[in-house]
Amino acid sequence: MSRAVLITGGARGIGRAAAARFVAAGDRVAVVARPSPALDATARALGVVALAADLADADACAAVAARAAEALGPIDVLVNNAGVIHRQALTEQPLAEWEDTFAINLRAPFLLAQAVLPAMLERGRGRIINVASIAGTLGTARAVAYCASKWGLIGFTKALSEEVKGRGVIVTALNPGSVDTRMLAGSGFEPDMTPEDVADALHYLSVAPAAIAGAALDLFG
């Protein structure tokens, strides 16, 4: 069955690889990213719907979910993948970076889940997959905002999973270690995985047995 899949941050990195993976499985895919030539190129290359939006803008989140459903039909799978890291020491970090991190990494998943969940519950099926991080299970230096947002996203995942238990909607998180993308560049960490490795795990979570609900799957490569 072809499913309607909405992936945030799909113009490059893990999101782009995930879009390719779901398309290869026969799904209909829309990707969200800020307007850029990369977004248009990804859409053309993969045959997916491009939705330009800034997920740091709360109003844009609900609007983009509505545009995705118009283009694809009711969303079967939401992959909250978009994320940012502002690497900075606590004493040097401007409040704006903390707020940007939380807006994109945690508020956007909250708003997008809020937008797609009613139709999922009505149809008695759906998957919400949140790309958190190993950094959501431990601490790394110069990353207080990022780590806190990813710990938060895992908590969000587990709480929402409990809230919808037994109603056909499966909510999970994926916690990758180091992945070879632009986000890792300059971090000092060596990549242990390709974006395609993570994409395979995301696809797995979209078809995994329902008993996986609430799990946060660590991925070490």
User: Kindly report the CA angle at 180 between 174 and 186, in degrees rounded to 5?
Assistant: 115
Q: What are phi and psi of 73, to 5 degrees?
A: 95, 180
Looking at 29-37, 65-73, 115-123, 157-165, which segment touches ligand NAD (CB under 6 A)?
29-37
What would the x/- binding string for ligand NAD be over residues 92 to 131, using CB under 6 A?
------------x--------------------------x
For the chain, state the CA radius of gyration: 16
Paired with 99 in beta bridges are none
DSSP labels for 138-175? S--TTBHHHHHHHHHHHHHHHHHHHHTTTTTEEEEEEE
Out of 115, 176, 201, 202, point to the residue binding ligand NAD (CB under 6 A).
176
The candidate with the shortest Cα–Cα distance to 128, out of 162, 77, 62, is: 77
Q: Residue 146 catalytic?
A: yes
- Is the separation of the CB atoms in 157 and 172 below 8 Å? yes
Residues 32-71 vs ligand NAD: string with x where CB under 6 A?
xxx-------------------xxx---------------
Among residues 22, 98, 102, 146, which one is catalytic?
146
What's the rounded Cα separation, in Å, for the pair 79 and 157? 12
Shortest gap between Cβ of 90 and ligand NAD (angstroms)?
19
The residue count for binding ligand NAD (CB under 6 A) is: 26
Q: Tell me which residues in 1-20 interact with ligand NAD (CB under 6 A).
A: 9, 11-15
Binding of ligand NAD by 185 (CB under 6 A): no
Chain residues in the site for ligand NAD (CB under 6 A): 9, 11-15, 32-34, 54-56, 81-84, 104, 131, 133, 176, 178-179, 181-184
